[in-house]
Amino acid sequence: MANKYSVPRGTYDILPDISYKWQFVIDVFRTVAREFNYKEIITPIFERSDIFERSVGETSDIVEKEMYKFEDKKGRIFALRPEGTAPVVRSFIENGLSLKPNSSKLYYLGPMFRYDRPQKGRYRQFYQYGIENIGSTNPYVDFEVIAFAYMFLSKLGLKNFELQINSIGCENCTKDYDRALKEYFTPFENDLCSDCRRRLKKNPKRVLDCKVKSCKVITEDAPSMLDYLDEECSAHFDQVQEYLKQMDIPFIVNPKIVRGLDYYTQTAFEFIDTTLGAQNTLIGGGRYDKLAEQLGGKNLPGIGFAGGFERLLLSMEEEKLSLGKPVNPKVYFIVLGDEARATAFRLINNLRLSGISVEYNSDKTSMNAQMKMANKTGAEFALILGEDELNKGKIIKKNLADGEQENIDLNDIVNSLKSK
Ligand code: HAM
């Protein structure tokens, strides 16, 4: 019978045979962050829930249906963070980061929480990597943020992805566009799903994002946002495209990208895996010039992106890319007899102090059992210390790959392993 204590639905354990793969991807992400001069920011995993309600938006699926909300003992309402942008902007304002050097380009890694129907590539606790660049409206910054994501996916060796970009315009453009969408959708109102009928009244752009087939068919001929951009938004979007072309970053313009969060203005983009199934958005991002104002700050435009690790790993496995190797100990220490033990313990400690990883299992006593363990752990070398060796001031160093062994002075063993 299955144990009644199991992991919550939509979550999973990252076990040792997978965690090294995560580490590999995280290392590449941190490397790209260093190359673009982004600094790490770590915010709490829960925040006041109104931070998300105000910014991600009351009519977004995340706020309407997916937030893990709870009341604390003093009656305050918090939410497990469903995304990272609003908390980063909250922290940016609260800590006055606009006045501190090297603080406007930030990256983060960590778990996010959304109560959604779990499926391949979609979980209730998932892990995001993301960046936020706060303080500039310059289209060069849009380009650099997109270039960061492109470089990250490229460095991992991924090929089957496509960059899609759009401009959602500013408040000005949106007013006319929303009106046009309402006019277009109203005759089809009865054919829309119940969610979209509600969206049509409150936020008609959300209809464009609906995954229900019948709604998708209706959206096909809907007016395009690009026809409603004002001069400034249009010029901004042209410039972003120009930079992407100059740097040979391939993209397509997809006017249907509206993104599932309400804080976006102007540039919006997604990196889509062209072979994954329904959950195929590897990375999503965009500009959010009004978000800081919604959270009590002023004049702090920004742009960023986030992606889920789970989908990234699925894509990498699909494309048969290397995901690093498990890290095995360098040395497996074999001790024979009680007399050798005290010397062995000191030596094990010295090796570890010198940065050499050592495994030792005190439960195994026979040579045979210890040698079997040595091979199982995948160590490079076995060090063997018995009474004979101890009396001669020596230790046996055995290369476990080719079986070759040498006797080494006890005093030289740390150095002999360090140089390998
Ligand atoms: P988002 O599109 O909601 O944007 O999520 C970004 C990415 O997180 C998705 O493309 C996907 O890879 C991953 N993701 C989202 N939900 C799940 C889930 N339930 N399970 C697994 N992976 C998931 C944001 O979160 C914005 N904060 C991005 C951003 C940053 N925009 C500007 N700056």
User: pLDDT digit string (tens) for 129-140?
Assistant: 999 999 999 999
Mutation test residue for ligand 1: of 52, 125, 311, the one with most atoms within 8 Å of CB: 311
Q: What are the structural domains of the chain?
A: 16-170+230-318 (3.30.930.10), 331-418 (3.40.50.800)
Give residue-wise pLDDT tens across range 327-353: 999 999 999 999 999 999 999 999 999
- Given a cut of 90, whether residue 315 has pLDDT beyond it is yes
Question: Tokens 């360098």 belong to which residue?
Answer: 330
**Tens digit of pLDDT for each residue in 97-106?**
999 999 999 9
Give me the pLDDT at residue 125, please. Answer: 98
For residue 33, what pLDDT is reported? Answer: 98
Contacts of residue 390, Cβ cutoff 8 Å, sequence gap at least 6 = 339, 340, 343
pLDDT at 144: 98
- The predicted pLDDT at position 58 comes to 86
High-pLDDT (> 90) share of the chain, %: 90
The residues lining ligand 1, judged by C-beta closer than 6 Å to any ligand atom, are 83-85, 114, 116, 121-123, 126, 128, 130, 132, 260-261, 281-286, 304-308, 310-311
Q: Whose CA is nearest to atom 21 of ligand 1?
A: 122
What are the strands of the beta sheet with 77-80, ordered from one edge?
Answer: 46-48, 77-80, 69-71
Say what the pTM is.
0.94
- Region 35-63: what's the mean pLDDT? 95
Q: Give the C-alpha separation, 302 to 312, whole Å.
A: 25
Task: Give phi and psi for 287, each to the nearest 5.
Answer: -90, 145
| Per-residue pLDDT band at 419 (split at 50, 70, 90) | low
